[in-house]
Structure 1
Amino acid sequence: MKRDALFDNAKFILIFLVVFGHMIQPFTDGSKSMYTLYMWIYTFHMPAFILLAGFFAKGAGNKGYIAKLAKKLLFPYLIFQTIYSGYFFFIGKESWATGLFYPHWSLWFLVSMFCWHLLLQLFSRIPPLAGMAITVSIGVLVGYFDTIGHAYSLSRTFVFFPFFLAGYWLSKENIAQWRTVPVRIVSLAVMAVVAGLLIILPEINSGWLLGSKSYAVLNMENWGGLIRLGIYLLAGLMIVSVIAWMPGREMRWTSLGQRTLYVYLLHGFFIQYFRQIDAFKVDGILDVFGLAVLSMLIVLLLSSKPALTLAQPFIEGKFAFLRKRQQTS
């Protein structure tokens, strides 16, 4: 698919929000403002990322598709599951000794992404509305089973799959309709209302937005299904609202949106170290701004060509820098 500046811009901004969200998470306890900011970001940033991943999965079913996906997703998962285990042990993090199929921290995304592509082999053959209804129903139902959780990233796979499938069925024309003036005006109201509700309502367990816990764990076993339906609706509205305002023209940083996997896999080395040593504190808006600047610097560093050169063998199993050296020698 030909690259479009809108999507690369969106991916770059979303990966910044992923890093920033992880950066501020330790400061949400006891701070209503930090909690509100964190939860507001989490209402849309991963669902939007997943929707865009589904949008670019139009080649599902092509010859060799699954084999290429295994190399792209499972290979770096196995590598980084091992690397993070060693790294967490080195910095003294207690949860370092997890099993191979209990993804460390953010690595769940790779496992779930591979599973979403597998599920797409079936759901791409089902009419869109029927498929969406089925996947949403499954996403709601899995919350009633305590046995479906972090292991194998099963819970998140089922909970977030509707966004991936929605992205698969979306066209550029559909997304263009989100970026009209009337939609943009309404989207401002949506984003403001969501922020306002997060401020005035009692604090909600962030587990509702992470998709990895059962309703029983979230202390809402009876009404959990209705709450998850509401979260699906909320996430859908926020995705449209945010994408409506993404810049659509080529920017100086647009090309960095092609390197989000590197940022996603590598930023944990910074975040987990900062958390382990309690590197920062937040006493005011300037501290939050400083964390945002640091998050952006991490994104820019991990999107840089030197970072790509060093990490490429572990993420893509390639040694492009060696080939270039051989070609020039």
Structure 2
Amino acid sequence: MIEPAAATTDRTPPPRVPMWDTARFLCVALVVIGHAIQRLIHDSDLALGVYLFIYAWHMPAFALISGYFSKAGPPTELRMRRMITDILLPYAIMESLWTTVKFVVEGRRVFDPTTPSWTLWFLLALAIFRLILPYLALIRWPLLLAIAASVGIGYLDNVDKTFSLSRAIGILPFFVLGWRMREWDLVRRWFSGLIPRWPVRIAAVALFAAWAVIVWIGIDLWRQTDLRYWFFYDRAYDRLGDAEWWFGLVRLGVLMLGAVLAIAFLTLVTNRQLWITPFGRSTMYIYLLHSFALYPLRESGILEGTAAPNLLLVTMIAVGAALSVLLGTSPVRRFFQPLIEPRAEWLFRESESESRRTSRPGPTGSG
């Protein structure tokens, strides 16, 4: 029987469970594929359908996994150090790099670390999650509170992308759900066979099939209503159309859809070691580096106005998948480690209470 990582300490890394590493890689690969095909959705209904199918649940699943591997106890010195070295310092480095790239390519001279560039919003969201989780854990119904905050934040047009606050609160329920899943011991029950697997997996396949059909049948409506923006969780309701009081119910429905599909996805991930499983340890490398690789393609204009958008869609899906594998390899990880996992012992004062030679799991539990 495979036990989850709930009983591990800050000093002891959790045992590797193949399912989680495989799930991490699949989620981050879908992030890359989604960004690779984003320029095609204006010219191809099929591209928009694939895009909506992915975006309904891939970041919710990523946040859920991150929550599962997060601890709600009082912050120790080691956790505070890791907040700096694993999240804040990489954010500062990557944001500086993006500022340089945008200056060279676009001539933009603005350095604004309060507004994260492209994919960097998730790092700040993780920092916010880690900061508030110990307080949420004190509440009797933390998941209900997180859902209320996500729905309610859409009514406030003064909460925006600054420090990723709107998006962090928007997807907070998925992070809290992941943490609660470990508290409820659901994974141990799943591994031990207390939950019947095949009926659940058949239901999960049916859910994904139903979502795919709904996306395709209503593709014209989804394009007209800009459904994709609802999956970003970063806009006030009055920026998503003529805001109505019931827009909060739409956000609630989107949250429920993301949660159900994210859990369905996890039930379909095997616990066997696959060839892609080791790449799950490199999710933050793939996540943070792929945007630099895709940036020239997106800015060149070659992905827009093509005569064969569906053929290009298949090509870009393959490019996204291949790029995910490439960026997860050991040579890439070794070369970019100073940027993604900086060793910053020089930054901290000497301490006798915490060891700095412990294993470093990544912000999403990888490592």
What's the TM-score, normalizing by structure 2?
A: 0.81
2:180 match: 169
Q: Which amino acid aligns with 2:112?
A: G
Query: Which of 313, 316, 323 is matched with 2:338 structurally?
Result: 313
Q: Are residues 175 and 27 of structure 1, via their aligned partners in 2, closer, same or farther at CA, if it must alter by over 3 Å?
A: farther
Contact 2:190 2:197 in 1 (8 A): no
Which range is displaced more, 1-10 or 192-201? 192-201
2:152 match: 141
Query: Which of 27, 30, 55 is matched with 1:42 structurally?
Result: 55
Q: Using the TM superposition, give the Cα deviation of residue 39 of structure 1 relative to its aligned residue in structure 2, in angstroms.
A: 0.6
Q: Are residues 100 and 190 of structure 1, via their aligned partners in 2, closer, same or farther at CA, if it must alter by over 3 Å?
A: same
1:322 match: none
In 2, Cα distance between the equivalents of 1:29 and 1:93? Answer: 26
1:283 match: 308
Q: Using the TM superposition, give the Cα deviation of residue 279 of structure 1 relative to its aligned residue in structure 2, in angstroms.
A: 3.5
2:64 match: 51
In 1, Cα distance between the equivalents of 2:273 and 2:236? Answer: 42
Moved segments of 4+, more than 6 Å: none
In 2, Cα distance between the equivalents of 1:101 and 1:33? Answer: 35
In 2, Cα distance between the equivalents of 1:190 and 1:103? Answer: 34
Q: Which amino acid aligns with 1:217?
A: R
Q: Which amino acid aligns with 1:157?
A: A
In 1, Cα distance between the equivalents of 2:190 and 2:125? Answer: 24
In 1, Cα distance between the equivalents of 2:158 and 2:307? Answer: 37
Contact 1:55 1:168 in 2 (8 A): yes
In 1, Cα distance between the equivalents of 2:235 and 2:44? Answer: 23
Contact 1:15 1:263 in 2 (8 A): yes
Q: Using the TM superposition, give the Cα deviation of residue 173 of structure 1 relative to its aligned residue in structure 2, in angstroms.
A: 2.6
Q: Could you list the runs of 5+ residues in structure 1 that have no partner in the other structure?
A: 320-329
- Taking the TM superposition and a 5 Å limit, the aligned residue runs for 1:180-191 are 180-191=197-208
2:213 match: 196
Contact 1:91 1:273 in 2 (8 A): no
Between the two proteins, the alignment pairs up a number of residues equal to 316
Q: Are residues 220 and 137 of structure 1, via their aligned partners in 2, closer, same or farther at CA, if it must alter by over 3 Å?
A: farther
Which range is displaced more, 169-178 or 61-70? 169-178
In 2, Cα distance between the equivalents of 1:4 and 1:267? Answer: 25
1:17 match: 30
- Taking the TM superposition and a 5 Å limit, the aligned residue runs for 1:75-90 are 75-90=89-104
Q: Using the TM superposition, give the Cα deviation of residue 102 of structure 1 relative to its aligned residue in structure 2, in angstroms.
A: 0.4
In 1, Cα distance between the equivalents of 2:335 and 2:307? Answer: 33
Which range is displaced more, 158-167 or 239-248? 239-248
Contact 2:47 2:310 in 1 (8 A): no
2:128 match: 115
Contact 1:178 1:184 in 2 (8 A): no
2:317 match: 292
Give the helix-richer structure, 1 or 2.
1
Q: Are residues 175 and 150 of structure 1, via their aligned partners in 2, closer, same or farther at CA, if it must alter by over 3 Å?
A: farther
Q: Which amino acid aligns with 1:287?
A: L
In 2, Cα distance between the equivalents of 1:19 and 1:2? Answer: 27
Q: Are residues 191 and 124 of structure 1, via their aligned partners in 2, closer, same or farther at CA, if it must alter by over 3 Å?
A: same
In 2, Cα distance between the equivalents of 1:66 and 1:283? Answer: 50
In 2, Cα distance between the equivalents of 1:39 and 1:122? Answer: 34
In 2, Cα distance between the equivalents of 1:174 and 1:149? Answer: 40
Q: Please tell me whether residue 215 in structure 1 is matched to residue 237 in structure 2.
A: yes
What's the TM-score, normalizing by structure 1?
A: 0.91
Query: Which of 11, 15, 18 is matched with 1:5 structurally?
Result: 18
Q: Calculate percent identity across the aligned residue pairs.
A: 28
In 2, Cα distance between the equivalents of 1:179 and 1:270? Answer: 42
